[in-house]
Amino acid sequence: MLEQATQVADLLLDVQTRVNARIDAALIELLPEVQGRLGVGEGPPVDLVDLVNARITGLSVVVTPAAVASVVPLSEASVGTTRTARRAVTEVLDGTDDRLTVIAGPCSIHDPAAALEYAGFLARMRERHGNDLEILMRTYTEKPRTEVDWKGFAYDPFLDGSSRISVGLVATRMLMCRITELGVPVAAEPLNALTPQYVNGLVTYNGVGARNVTDQTARERVSGFSSVVGFKNSPEGSIDAAVQAIVAARAPHEFLGVDAHGVSAQLSTTGNETGHVILRGAKAGPNYSRAHIAETKAKLAARGLPEVVVVDASHGNSQKDHRRQIEVVRDLAGQVAGGERAIRGVMVESNLVEGRQDLDQRHPDRLTYGCSVTDACVDLGTTEVILAELAEAVRVRRTTA
């Protein structure tokens, strides 16, 4: 896939470079007219070298969302997967569908082949548990880092620090097309203003991460998303930060972004009413207990918001020990089976192979196939157990409702 993505990206970059040269030429042509209208002449050239872009060492053209979408179009099958899943997840969250949403998959995508094999597994799990669970695949190609580390497949698809972002964006779209063509809906984390446009129509669920939840620009952006959106509590454990994000994203906004051609644009949004809290725990400890769910419900009710909670079994809730995810899930399954209606979804970090490995960007070829290069994950066997226990909890809740 990376070879194809590279060829596509190189062709698109060539077109984009020529288009940009034409825009520059048109602006230069316009200059005398503008100067004439303003009554100013062309002043002497000014040296800006130490004032402008002083710390930028490279500024290169990148493929535009419109160009990538035109050469990697969505198929009927992909569109059907996303459309149906967005409706299903929305209904699970608003309570008209009594199933649970489960967002399972690798902490981060780094190898398209392994990601597709994992998607095949989830396609089978969706078939097995469809009556009780709406299962989505974590297809996270952007990673928010605490300090400095590999930022994800979209930014460095060759895992070697070459940072061919155009290739990463094309490959991300190709991968999400393939996954949705298998009938598996995609979940992602949108990290900036530009990346979501490259995967337009492919993402069912966007989880705004703990490190971005207080960011006004993130809240503005998702207020216009067609997908379902969730908000993690902050890394320090603030549930209020997620509740405030829900309120902010439900409102319409006017803000600066770019259009599909990568040109600066003013965006006007309707607000997104699907927003909900994702409890992910904190460094100080987990927040999935009955008491935490009750506290979250109270905070939501106090703001007049629906009492809807998704719980991330990983991160602060597992204290980054992947083996603890099953304990978290068992507790949640107990709460669900006991009739707790506010829990509408569970997130799990899972991969073909258990655990994690360090990525050495000098030797990306030495990685173990199917094993996370970011947070540790549970393997397929444990994931099967997790899904079976959650499905059983839904059935119990249904029969006792």
Ligand X SMILES: O=C[C@H](O)[C@H](O)COP(=O)(O)O
Closest CA to 278 of 187, 147, 162: 187
By rule CB under 6 A, what string of x and - marks binding of each residue 65-104 to ligand X? ----------------------------------------
For ligand X, the closer CB: 149 or 215: 149
Residues 194-223 that bind ligand PEP (CB under 6 A): 209-211
138 binds ligand X (CB under 6 A): no
DSSP state letters, 126-144: HHHHTTTEEEEEE------
Distance (Å, rounded) from C-alpha 159 to C-alpha 101? 31
Measured between its terminal Cα atoms, the distance across the chain in Å is 47
Tokens representing 246? 């829900």
146 binds ligand X (CB under 6 A): yes
What is the nearest approach in angstroms of ligand PEP to the Cβ of residue 138? 7
- Is beta strand 343-349 parallel, antiparallel or unpaired with respect to 133-138? unpaired
For ligand PEP, the closer CB: 127 or 215: 215
For ligand PEP, the closer CB: 100 or 107: 107
- Which residues does residue 312 pair with via DSSP β-bridges, in sequence order? 347
320 binds ligand PEP (CB under 6 A): no
By rule CB under 6 A, what string of x and - marks binding of each residue 187-226 to ligand X? ----------------------------------------
For ligand PEP, the closer CB: 65 or 207: 207
For ligand X, the closer CB: 224 or 237: 237
- Which residues does residue 267 pair with via DSSP β-bridges, in sequence order? 255
Distance (Å, rounded) from C-alpha 166 to C-alpha 154? 8
By rule CB under 6 A, what string of x and - marks binding of each residue 302-341 to ligand X? -------------x--------------------------
Residues in contact with ligand PEP, total (CB under 6 A)? 11
The phi-psi region of residue 339 (left if phi > 0; otherwise alpha if psi is between -120 and 50; otherwise beta) is left
Residues 53-92 that bind ligand PEP (CB under 6 A): none
Minimal CB distance to ligand PEP: which residue? 209
DSSP state letters, 330-355: HHHHHHHHTT--SEEEEEEEB-SSSB
What is the nearest approach in angstroms of ligand PEP to the Cβ of residue 142? 9
Query: Does residue 115 contact residue 139 with C-beta atoms inside 8 Å?
Result: yes
Q: How far is CA 190 from CA 222, 272, 356, 397, in A?
A: 9, 15, 23, 33
105 binds ligand PEP (CB under 6 A): no
Judged by CB under 6 A, the residue of 110, 129, 143, 322 near ligand X is 143
149 binds ligand X (CB under 6 A): yes
375 binds ligand X (CB under 6 A): yes
Contacts for 161 with CB less than 8 Å, ≥ 6 apart? 361
Query: Does residue 233 contact residue 277 with C-beta atoms inside 8 Å?
Result: yes
140 binds ligand PEP (CB under 6 A): yes
Chain contacts with ligand X (rule: CB under 6 A): 107, 143-146, 149, 315, 374-375
Chain contacts with ligand PEP (rule: CB under 6 A): 107, 140, 144, 189, 209-211, 232, 280, 312, 315
